Structure 1
Amino acid sequence: MPTDRDQTMTQQDTKAPVSVAGEGADQRQVTGLVGLTIMVIAVSFSLFQLYQSGIGLMPAQNLRAVHLAFVLGLIFLLFPAFSGMRKNRIPIIDLFLAAVAIAGPLYFYFYFFEMVMRAGAETTFDFAMGVLTIVALLEATRRAIGPVLPVLAIIFMLYAFFGAYMPDIIGHRGYSAERIVRHLYPTTEGIFGIPLAVASTFVFLFVLFGAVMQRTGVSDYLTRLAMAGLGSYQGGPAKSAVLASAMMGSFSGSSTANVATTGTLTIPLMKRVGFSPASAGGVETAASTTGQFVPPVMGAAAFVMVEMTGIPYVQIITAALLPAILDLAGILFCVHMHAKKMNIRGIPREELPPVLPTLLSQFHLLIPVLGLIFMLVIANFTPTRSAFFAIPLALLVSLVARNTIIVYRALRTQANGGDPFAGVQEALEKERSSVAREKAAAREPLTSWRQTITRTWADWGRDLVHGLADGARQAIPISAACATAGIIIGIITLTGLGLRMQSILLLLSGGELWAALVFTAIGSIILGLGVPTTANYIIMATLMAPALIQLGVPPLAAHMFVFYFGILADTTPPVGLGAYVAAGIARAGPIRTSLEGFKFSITAFIIPFMFVYNPTLLLIGDVQIFELGWLVISGLIGVYALSVMKEGWWLTRANAIERIAMTFAAILLIQPSFIVDLAGFGLMGAVLLWQFQKVRSEARHGYTPPTRSAQIAMGVGVVTLPAVVLTMTLPVVTVDEGVRTWSRVVLPGSRVTLEHVHSVEQTRVEDRFQVGWRADLIHQRTVSRSLGAGLPADARARDGVLTTRGTGERFTAIPMRFDANSAATIQFGGDEPVEFAPAEGSGRVELRVNRLWERFWPW
């Protein structure tokens, strides 16, 4: 039975009105016959998608057309043209637009094969339907998610039209309006391409699964469970919010929906124990955003990544596990330091329920999630088939468990001499989700078993219908964004912009990996400020990920990188959609809440750079247990140092020098080097000793600031120690020619080019490498230039140049051998090439790469 302590956690301060922004936040709430009609359409949409995922055999292009027709029709019915318009009625113009908007997708459905057969000879009506579909889609996307993505799509279409007038670096011959529409509409290269395919299968089903799970009350259960375990500790409600939101976000399709669901419970509790409104909203925003990184669902982006990369699903979620753990740990550390700094205590233990009974009370709600993981990971079901079984399983478990628990509690109440139907009433209230609990508060008490069964089935049916409708409502903004992203992808494939963007990124970065990563991160965040995660990832994976791969980044790491920063836009000022939702619940300023969320998420901005420079974190390649364990331990301590830097507090308040020292320590600890990690530990140890001295001084005499000379000494140490350590870890390329050995200190990310010229065939071959952070050479590409024979005819037709993408293989030693007719050089960055001079008669040269400190301690 629910107790007073349960009510403390579930009802405290949750009756305040909530202002929600983000995906689907401005939907109309229409009642009467029109509202019922919209409900029927939304439920039919969900049932259609569920049927097609497991039973239906509709061709893929037809499924996309029907999906888009539902999406466009519902958006014009649910979303007003402008935010200030009334939301309790639908204007006649929107009813007309809804009817007109579905004409384009339905025409595609019925006449797709005819349009394919007459490719190149499209009719005027084909062109008109294409224009109608594009315009309707752009307007629907503007209503659902805002103007950013539609404006971006229009810019791309203008780029395709005016390509002949563009600068040479991005210019092309230009395309007519008819050619652009013909590429975007009656083919699967544009609107009906891969983005909409992903939205109509994986994304919709897992958004629907999350909506159904929310209706079963799992969000309340996870929050109560986390609160029972952590609520009594310092800053306990915030730590509970982090875990509950991360668990809920792991199978929810939207960070904003996650904030709106769990935040109504966690944010008031955080405010109650002493967190400021902005900090409470920031914690919830950071935690809900992090939930999108947590396997198995990862906001449905894991399945999109499977489609984009061809990498198996199990490998993707396995790779995402350790970064997600580090990210969660970073938020928890920041929350803990903030609570210590502000002296925020937890909720008294007597006000919290015991952990084990809370765990067992509704453990059945986790069965669908466990079943989903089993089907995806162990049974190797496809994602669509797994969701097809998981959604009915969630509904079935909710019904069976609800009735079983109700009967058990009623009989137990009767055995104790009480009214059995009072026990049934309380059980019903506990099983009902918090959204439905308030609406049922005024209902008459139960008096018979027949009434009990009727009400139980009625409640379950209501949750079923609303869960299906909620899934459709939450999914349509994402689907519209994916279809609009298809316009952008179509323009990229039509104009070849993808290859040009790779060249631009390489030009801007100068071939330096760190610069390319920074530019990619900035682009992902800017795009993510107004674009849902899935669409953002699809666009950035098409534009930027190939350039990172060309620089030697493993494909999985490159795609994870753009995925991470696309999601982090939900916490990044000034927009931060997730922060706007949390600000409405916390009654705080949205910009301040977004800033707090950004600070609590600081670890997440570092982790992508960690796994790019050390793919072992993603379990890529030959992973050694000791290396992996050390990497995780040093990474956890590194994010702990970041939390100290962020809050300015450890054992006591940290001054500017100590915070700078902890920043350097964090940087050292996240570097993939054992020696560098030891230096980071040493720097943290120095700060810890300093903090001990300050604590003892405060305890004995009150606070006594360190002397001026001590501050200067520590400042010099903070600057010089990391500089010396980083210098000693720089890679050194050693060239052993037999008769002489010479070396060159190089920076990680710089280029090394080996050139070999064969004097008979006059074929010049360049192997280009990048110096890695592991003190190795990463093969990037091979370029062959022929002055005579030696290359295929098609290569000579392209000015005698043949470029082959590198293997990405890493080398710490490269042995070479040259004959009498050969010559070879090595070039570091843009320096002059240096010709090899092997010992006479041997023709042998060996390149070795190690770190500078190994030249002094070779053992």
Structure 2
Amino acid sequence: MTSDAQGNRPLTEEELQELVASSDAGARNPVGSVGLFLAIVAVIWSVFQVIQASPLSNVILPGSVVNNSRQIHLAFAIFLAYAAYPALKTSPRGHIPIQDWLFAIAGAGIALYGYIFYQKIVNSGGLADDVDKWFALAGLVLLFEAARRALGPAMAIIATIFLLYVFFGSSEVVPEVIRWKGASLKKAMSHMWITSEGVFGIALGVSTKFVFLFVLFGALLDKAGAGNYFIKMAFGALGHLRGGPAKAAVVGSAATGLISGSSIANVVTTGTFTIPLMKRVGFSNEQAGAVEVASSVNGQIMPPVMGAAAFLMVEYTGISYVQVITHAFLPAAISYVALIYIVHLEAVKQNMPTLGNREVHLARTILGMFSFFAVFAGLCYGSQFPVEVAYAWAPSIAGLLMFVSVMLVYLWLLALAAKTPDLEPDDPNAQEVELPDISKIYTAGLYYLLPIIVLVYFLMIEQKSPGLSAFWATALLFVILLTQKPLKAVFRGQSNLAQTFVEGFADLWQGMIDGARNMIGIALATAAAGVIVGTVTLTGVGQVMAELVEGMAFGLTYISAMFVHAISPVTDLIGITSFEGTVAERAADMTGTILVFVLLCVGLLSLVLGMGLPTTANYIVVSSLMAGVVVELGAQSGLIVPLIAVHLFVFYFGIMADVTPPVGLASFAAAAVSGGDAIRTGFVAFFYSLRTVALPFVFIFNTDLLLIDVTWAQGILVAISATIAILVFTAGTMGYFLTRSRIYESVLLVLVAFTLFRPDFFMNRIMPPFADVAPIELVEALSASHEGQEIRLRIEGPDFDTGGAASTTLVIPSDGSGDGLAMAEGIGLVLLPEDGLMKLDAPGFGTPAEQTLGNFDFYGDEPVKVTAIKAPQDQLPKELVFIPALLLLALVALMQRSRASKEGVPA
């Protein structure tokens, strides 16, 4: 907490930087030769990662280094963790105790065990011997302690519990439902440390290959001055509007969130300027802090970085990076639109004054911002055309031509920037607040957009790997940091070239140090989370979790069905329902409830774990345990849930933990800046973030929001309707639209928002999209289908592992050939029509059907059979539901406009 004798007070700049350092980069910062040594280690780590990501890595680095880069990556992280993070609050900050030196060296050495004894491990097939297992156990202990220092105790405690489960999972103390046979120390250590199934698994590999470069890219871009430029531009564009400082905070945090994965750093970076100004125009301490928290935390859902989660999603879902950020973009964008609207409504409700003396032109402001982003997107997209010309004209030197072109553009933009004085951070506490004039300052930082354009070009146009794309963007930043100050001096006719070059080198040096220190926590989080992932793969507890959650969900559904059955005479009498059947039949009809229950469990689990885990680790843990469960239970409910939708769901709730009281760290950081109460700040921030809670449920059931399988025209319509929906939802939950809403008006607004988000919910009840077909008529249904349509099969049978009843949904895409039997065989189905039933034999190995039906027992006494078929049928466009929704919105607007005019409410 940040309190003194008088109560809460804002922290000083020095105290804020210490807060960020202690949470993100380590509170210890020794000076002298030791400090220089640690700085050199951090820079070496950065240089190593840059070389590894370069196209020449296989030439510069030995093969053994490339093959064991994860071990080297973790060795740097553990060494710097013990050096930078004190063991206890009372531990020294100015020097490193001898025991920490020993732990650092031992931890780094054991992390390199797989590199040093690489040949021995290869020859043994990855199986630990009696020596290996003790080194591996010591490595885990040192890793957990490093994680405790850098990430807090929760990560180490959770990883330890999972490791104990590996050893003692067969104990009678363990509940029978999750009991397993247990593992020996040798087997466990082989899995966790020697092979790539545990600590050195996918998560640490992503941290090594991709995340470091993006974190370094963000640190260098901020060191170059881009962060201050973005904030000034946002403040200049929006500061003159009502609630302008808060709107500038939202846009500024979105911009910094593009390049930063730390909620706390975002809060402090932009909040030290925006929070005092928000308080100045009428926001309370808690409201000002909450706006900054909501906008800074949401920076993690904004592509392309997404707090390192985007790269993990690539590995876990098996889709490309371009697809991941395409799916993630629209929810993130409308979430920020909603936050700006929340700020606007708060300002209107309190009739807040505007800052400065500039005339307010809202339409011009919106048009200007839209034009800026449109031009930027156009430049990113248009960059491919000169490249194509260069490769067509001179393919042998096209790369060199593009490098020269980028340098010429950089020199031109830098010459423009030199005509404007360097941008200095404004004082938010000054008596007179002077808004930046965008027309005068925008040229001062246009060259900061060049590395971002290069990054987007390689990612989206060339579709290179994230690591290689970040390498080229980072290499350009190296050039910018080294040359921007000397070249500006030349353009300005100054003679202090040597001094400016030294300053540029110092900026580059410090940027590489900052990038490395910011990576310590992420590297340790991914490594420690590898223990949890390894436990899931070794013990099979993930399948047990699926069965446990499924059982709880079915129990809840059955209880709900009993209640519905009990009151059905009344509901049938008054016409609410007309369903007839037993409780079991009602429960079967309510299977959609199961998925909602599971999603609530996943969201709650993410929130609880996120109270002690960083976002990346939280995402790894929950997605490893529950992503497959949600997909499987969705299939059992007849809903095909794309894996990326589940991973984004988990990630969204993971970042909410940074907001949610009582532990939300970003809320504490914002309260430290504002001087407000941290708990109240967290509650207000959670209220402002309701849209971040609602959106994941929306895109699970309406994947159009993730732009999955939509055309360009459909995508534009989805973007427009989703934007209107999120604005209406915001107005409904804030209790203010054109004036203060009455309760029934808020309910109607939320209903309108739901309709715009889920038009299929209503259209499917008016005109069902599927018709029921008898299972025995499967071949005929496939033969009658048109190209692009999907036939959904409900399949039931005995589970291979438990022998109990299992069910799932299999989707067969139609090729329009009219040969239903060939289509079924094409995905691996072996049909056995018999006695009026469509029985199935074991599907072909490696076929789509085998992947979906692999858990069924095809050799038992009970057959595996098709129990229901859903064939697509004609349906009116679901977008027609928008018409009554918009009419209802217009009705609410008319009612409120009439009341507002009578009450004299300001616009």
Shorter-chain TM-score bucket reads 0.7 to 0.9
User: Shift of the alpha carbon at 1:822?
Assistant: 3.4
User: What does the per-residue CA deviation read over 1:545-574, in whole Å, with 9 as the maximum and x for residues that have no partner?
Assistant: 112222220122122211222222222222
| Counterparts in 2 of 1:730 and 1:287: CA distance versus 1, 3 Å | farther
- 1:82, 1:515 → 2: CA distance? 41
Does residue 134 (structure 1) correspond to residue 217 (structure 2)? The answer is no
Deviation (angstroms), 1:318: 1.3
Contact 1:631 1:672 in 2 (8 A): no
Distance 2:206 2:126 in 1: 28
Mark the CA change 1:757 to 1:595 in structure 2 (over 3 Å): closer, same or farther: same
Change (3 A) 1:292 1:213: same
Paired residue secondary structure (1:232): coil
**Deviation digits for residues 31-78 of structure 1, max 9, x if unmatched?**
111111111111111111111111333455511111111111111111
> Is 1:205 the counterpart of 2:232 in the alignment?
no
Aligned pairs (5 A) from 1:141-156: 141-156=147-162
Q: What is the CA RMSD across the aligned residues, in angstroms?
A: 3.5
Aligned counterpart, 1:7? none
Cα distance change of structure 1 residues 100 and 821 upon mapping to structure 2, 3 Å threshold: closer
Distance in 2, Cα, partners of 1:568 & 1:820:
51
Partner of 2:440, secondary structure, is helix
2:201 & 2:13 partners in 1: Cα distance? 44
Equivalent residue number for residue 57 of structure 2: 56
Structure-2 change in CA distance of 1:113 and 1:223 (3 Å) = same
1:320 maps to which of 321, 324, 328: 328
- Corresponding residue of 1:6: none
1:520 aligned to 2:602? yes
What is aligned with 1:661?
A: 748
Q: Does 1:367 align with 2:453?
A: no
> Partner of 1:40 in structure 2?
40
Q: Which is further off, 161-170 or 225-234? A: 161-170
1:579 pairs with 667, 676, 687, which one? Answer: 667
Q: Which runs of 5+ in 2 are unaligned?
A: 1-9, 359-433, 555-590, 635-639, 782-788, 822-830, 840-867, 882-907
Q: 1:801 to 1:594 in 2, by over 3 A?
A: closer
> Which 10-residue stretch deviates more, 136-145 or 290-299?
290-299
Q: Alignment identity in percent?
A: 37
Contact 1:137-1:484 at 8 Å conserved across structures: yes
1:300 aligned to which of 301, 308, 326: 308
- Which residue in 2 is equivalent to 1:77? 83
Partner Cα separation in structure 1 for residue 732 and residue 740 of structure 2: 11
Name the amino acid aligned to 1:28.
R
Task: Look up the match of 1:612.
Answer: 700
Q: Within 5 Å, which residues of 2 pair with 1:616-631?
A: 616-623=704-711, 625=713, 627-631=714-718
1:358 aligns with 2:441: yes
Q: How does 1:269-308 map to 2 (within 5 A)?
A: 269-308=277-316
**Cα distance per residue 1:585-625 (max 9 Å; x no partner):** 22222222222221222111111111111111111124362
Q: Deviations over 1:688-738 (max 9, x none)?
A: xxxxxxxxxxxxxxxxxxxxxxxxxxxxxxxxxxxxxx9x659597658xx
Q: State TM-score, norm by structure 2.
A: 0.71
1:807 aligns with 2:811: yes
State the TM-score, normalized to the length of structure 1: 0.75
Alignment coverage as a number of residue pairs: 694
The one of 398, 406, 421 aligned to 2:489: 406
Query: Which residue does the alignment assign to 2:855?
Result: none
Q: Tell me how far apart the structure 2 counterparts of residues 389 and 218 of structure 1 sit (CA, whole Å).
A: 18
Cα distance in structure 2, aligned partners of 1:589 and 1:778: 56
Structure-1 residue corresponding to 2:242: 234
Q: Partners in 1 of 2:872 and 2:443 — Cα distance?
A: 59
2:25, 2:517 within 8 Å by CA — same for their partners in 1?
A: no
For residues 115 and 65 of structure 1, what CA distance do their matches in structure 2 show? 14
Distance 1:809 1:324, change over 3 A: farther
For structure 1, which segment, 22-31 or 370-379, has the greater mean C-alpha deviation from structure 2 after superposition? 22-31
Question: Residue type of the partner of 1:131?
Answer: L
Asked whether the 8 Å contact 1:291–1:298 carries over to 2, the reply is: yes
Contact kept in structure 1, 2:485 and 2:501, CA below 8 Å: no
Q: Is the 1:237–1:346 Cα contact (8 Å) retained in structure 2?
A: no
Question: For the residues of structure 1 that align with 2:790 and 2:802, how far apart are their CA atoms?
Answer: 29
Out of 708, 717, 724, the residue aligned to residue 637 of structure 1 is 724
Are positions 1:187 and 2:195 aligned together?
Answer: yes
Matches within 5 A, 1:788-827: 806-807=810-811, 822-824=835-837
Q: Deviations over 1:441-488 (max 9, x none)?
A: xxxxxxxx2xx2122112111111110000111100110011000111
Distance of 1:266 and 1:293 partners within structure 2: 21
Match of 1:681 in 2: none
Is contact 1:112–1:186 with CA below 8 Å preserved after alignment? no
Q: Any gaps of 5 or more consecutive residues in structure 1?
A: 1-11, 412-423, 425-448, 677-725, 737-753, 759-764, 768-775, 786-794, 827-843
- The answer to whether residue 551 in structure 2 is matched with residue 507 in structure 1 is yes
- Alignment match, 1:123: 129
Q: Which amino acid aligns with 1:113?
A: Q
Equivalent in the alignment of 2:759 = 672
SS in 2 for 1:24: helix
How far apart are residue 632 of structure 1 and its match? 2.8
Cα 1:361–1:404 shift into 2, 3 Å: same
| 1:74-123 superposed Cα distances (whole Å, 9 cap, x missing partner) | 11111011124332222222112112212211222111331242358743
Quick one: distance in 2 between partners of 1:810 and 1:499?
31
Q: Does 1:110 align with 2:116?
A: yes
Q: Which moved more, 1:656-665 or 1:574-583?
A: 656-665
CA contact (8 A) 1:116 1:187 kept: no
1:233 and 1:799 map into 2 onto residues whose CA distance is 65
Distance 1:149 1:161 in 2: 19
User: How far does residue 209 in structure 1 lie from its aligned partner after superposition?
Assistant: 0.9
CA distance in 2, matches of 1:13, 1:576: 18
Instruction: Determine the C-alpha separation between the residues in 1 that align with 2:832 and 2:539.
Output: 46
Which residue identity does 2:454 align to in structure 1?
G
**Are residue 649 (structure 1) and residue 733 (structure 2) matched?**
no
Amino acid at match of 1:56: S
2:459 equivalent to 1:376: yes
Contact 1:816/1:846 (8 A) holds in 2 = no
Structure 2 match to 1:594? 682
Q: Is the 8 A contact 1:289 1:578 kept in 2?
A: yes
Q: Secondary structure at the match of 2:613?
A: coil
Task: Report the Cα distance in structure 1 between the residues aligned to 2:739 and 2:143, rounded to whole angstroms.
Answer: 56
Which amino acid in the other structure matches residue 546 of structure 1? G
Instruction: Look up the match of 2:637.
Output: none
Higher helix proportion: 2
Partner of 1:684: none
Change beyond 3 A, Cα 1:124–1:853: closer
- Matches of residues 717-796 of structure 1 in structure 2 within 5 Å? 779=792, 782-783=795-796
Contact map agreement 1:485 1:535 (CA 8 A) in 2: yes
Q: How many angstroms apart in 1 are the aligned matches of 2:717 and 2:516?
A: 45
Contact 1:23 1:474 in 2 (8 A): no
SS of the counterpart of 1:94? helix
Distance 2:814 2:614 in 1: 36
Deviation string for 1:222-261 (max 9, x for gaps)? 0000111111001111111111111111121322222222
Secondary structure of the equivalent of 2:68?
helix
Q: What is the identity, as a one-letter code, of the residue corresponding to 1:281?
A: G
Q: 1:168 to 1:17 in 2, by over 3 A?
A: closer
| Secondary structure of the structure 1 residue equivalent to 2:233 | helix
Partner secondary structure for residue 571 of structure 1 = coil
Is 1:539–2:588 an aligned residue pair?
Answer: no
Residue 473 of structure 1 is aligned with which of 505, 508, 517? 517
AA aligned opposite 1:464: L
**In structure 2, what residue type is equivalent to 1:549?**
V
Q: Secondary structure at the match of 1:311?
A: coil
Determine if contact 1:525/1:569 at 8 Å carries over to the other structure: yes
- Tell me the distance in 1 between the aligned counterparts of 2:481 and 2:647: 37
Pairing 1:160-179 to 2, within 5 Å after superposition: 160-164=166-170, 165=172, 166-179=174-187
Give the letter for the 1:591 counterpart: I
CA–CA distance in structure 2, aligned partners of residues 457 and 605 of structure 1: 48
